[in-house]
Amino acid sequence: MHDVTSFGLTALILFGAYTLFGITGFGQSMIAMPFLAMVASLRFFVPLVALLDAVFVVWNAAKFRQHANYPELIALLPTTILGMIGGATMLLLLPERILLLTLGVLITAYGIYRLLAKQQTGKLNKFVAVPLGLLAGALTATFGTGGPIYVAYLSGRIFDKSELRATILGLLLLTTLLRLGIFAVGGLYNNSHIWLWAAMLLSVAFLGVKLGHYLHDRLKSESLLTLVYLTLVLSGLLLIIKNF
């Protein structure tokens, strides 16, 4: 799988995914992973994307750290860690076909939910952090796709935009560092190709982020998100059909 065609497809997918990250600040793994899974194993791409995420999340989080709501971060951490340990165990032990089918179902369900969901009103109860932290932690470690759940929860707890953005970035930083540690302990970084590809793809991801920043104020966010959610539904259905 380590051929020019596979690398080219990977570069194209990640360029698009990190462009989305540059526009919205999250969602790169959610949009990339279903397509990357059609190129090669999740056990290759999940730790690879985690390395790329670490670079950009550290870069962004450092700029906004003073605005973060640390009590909300601390409330999510215990269950997030438990969920991530469980998710990493599933990534290492479950058959690839089961993982891909699960990813397809989750991506499709999330895309449909976001297309149909109404604007959230009211403040979420803080105890919702327990089940959502477990679920998001598991999805983050298994597929790198727990970010939207964290965003949905924190959006229901924090209503200042600067504070919300900084808190989301802080949480993404913590979960990314935890992922790197868990994957290292699990032996996923023993594959030298992961490091080589990550080094070569870093510039591609960087260009995507820069393009996303440029497009941020030039695109209608509602139309863009609708396109993203439709893409998620399509990619999820393709994974389900391929692995059912």
Q: How many CB atoms lie within 10 A of CB 33?
A: 24
Which of the residue ranges 31-45, 56-70, 130-144 would you say has the lowest mean pLDDT? 56-70
Q: Is the dihedral of CA 228, 178, 198, 10 positive or negative?
A: negative
Q: What are the tens digits of pLDDT across the range 73-86?
A: 899 999 999 999 99
Q: Cα–Cα–Cα angle for 234, 30, 120, nearest 5°?
A: 90
Structural domain including 149 reads 4-243
Q: What are the tens digits of pLDDT across the range 83-140?
A: 999 999 999 999 989 999 998 898 898 889 888 876 655 677 878 889 989 998 998 9
Complete DSSP assignment for 121-134: -SPPPGGGHHHHHH
Helix, strand and coil in the chain, % to nearest 5: 85, 0, 15
pTM for this prediction: 0.84
DSSP one-letter code for 2: -
- Alpha-helical segments (H) within the chain: 4-24, 28-36, 42-64, 70-93, 96-116, 129-142, 147-155, 161-185, 192-215, 221-243
Q: Are 39 and 9 in contact (CB under 8 A)?
A: yes
Total structural domains within the chain = 1
